[in-house]
């Protein structure tokens, strides 16, 4: 099975760190983010991995050649959005493809989302999680200027995408060299399913605050549940 890591972005939310290195080479503790993502894929049995570069791709390519010589690297001509960047791997994919953003660390077991994807014959399967959000203030429901209901600090449960997907290779091959975000791709496909993960950890390290919060994680403990 092919795994594609999307690593093209500018990493603006991680500046000033990404003025020096591309986002995949920013470290969590002492380990580059890309190392953790590649290891997670391999522990899930994904041995054929492609990294799509973009911003500072010369630096990323040199690192991968040294640290992960068995990982393929594909250069981008321009930045095209989360789904559009897959255009550059269109000739390298077949079967089902696992696609992951490079700024999400997880111990997700891919077997369940893959089972859902195949049983539903899905074009695209989005991995998601449930989140509870608490509004800090009173929420006023109104009809014009008339108060209908006052809800003090209500909570809302939502299902959010975590930046991991399974998609059919023909979907990837159909993506042109134009800007396309993943939500737009999903909304354009007729058969999209959602796998809601309930027993996995997801750490977004795409901002400086999130990176600081994740800096103390034990990578061995995080990924230990996947070791076979």
Q: What is the CATH number of the domain that holds 214?
A: 3.90.550.10
Q: How many domains does the chain have?
A: 1
- CA–CA gap between residue 60 and residue 142 (Å, rounded): 53
Q: Does any domain span residue 149?
A: no
DSSP one-letter code for 111 = H
Q: Could you tell me the two tokens for 222?
A: 């995080």
Q: Does any domain span residue 153?
A: no
Residue with tokens 């470290």: 27
The answer to whether the CB of 164 falls within 8 A of the CB of 108 is yes
pLDDT of 168: 94
User: pTM score, two decimals?
Assistant: 0.88
Q: Does any domain span residue 145?
A: no
Q: Could you tell me the two tokens for 84?
A: 């559009």
Helix (H, G, I), strand (E, B) or coil at 198: coil
Query: 128-165 burial, b if ≥16 CB within 10 A, otherwise e?
Result: bbeeeeeeeeeeeeeeeeeeeeeeeeeeeeeeeebbbb
pLDDT of 224: 67
- CA–CA gap between residue 121 and residue 96 (Å, rounded): 10
Q: Could you tell me the two tokens for 35?
A: 């190392």
Q: Does any domain span residue 143?
A: no
pLDDT of 225: 60
- CA–CA gap between residue 164 and residue 99 (Å, rounded): 6
| Per-10-residue mean pLDDT, the chain, length 228 | 90 86 86 91 92 91 92 92 93 92 90 94 95 91 93 92 94 94 94 93 85 78 66
Q: Does any domain span residue 135?
A: no
Q: Does any domain span residue 123?
A: yes
Of 31, 119, 97, the residue nearest 67 (C-alpha): 31
pLDDT of 118: 95
Q: Does any domain span residue 147?
A: no
Q: Does any domain span residue 69?
A: yes
């Amino acid at each position: 099975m092919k795994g594609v890591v999307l690593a093209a972005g500018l990493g603006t939310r991680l500046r000033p760190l990404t003025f020096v290195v591309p986002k995949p080479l920013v470290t969590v503790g002492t380990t580059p983010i890309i190392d953790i993502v590649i290891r997670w894929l391999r522990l899930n049995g994904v041995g054929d991995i492609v990294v799509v570069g973009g911003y500072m791709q010369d630096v990323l390519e040199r690192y991968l050649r040294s640290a992960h010589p068995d990982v393929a690297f594909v250069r981008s001509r321009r930045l095209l959005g989360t789904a559009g960047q897959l255009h550059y791997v269109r000739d390298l994919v077949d079967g089902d493809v696992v696609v992951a953003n490079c700024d999400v660390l997880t111990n997700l077991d891919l077997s369940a989302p893959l089972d859902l994807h195949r049983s539903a014959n899905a074009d695209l399967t989005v991995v998601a999680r449930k989140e509870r959000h608490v509004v800090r203030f009173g929420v006023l429901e109104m009809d014009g200027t008339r108060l209908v209901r006052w809800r003090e600090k209500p909570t809302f449960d939502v299902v959010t995408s975590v930046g991991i997907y399974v998609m059919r290779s023909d979907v990837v091959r159909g993506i042109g060299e134009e800007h396309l975000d993943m939500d737009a791709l999903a909304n354009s496909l007729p058969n999209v399913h959602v796998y809601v993960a309930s027993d996995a950890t997801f750490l977004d390290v795409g901002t400086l605050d999130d990176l600081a919060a994740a800096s103390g994680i034990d990578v061995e403990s995080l990924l230990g549940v996947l070791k076979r």
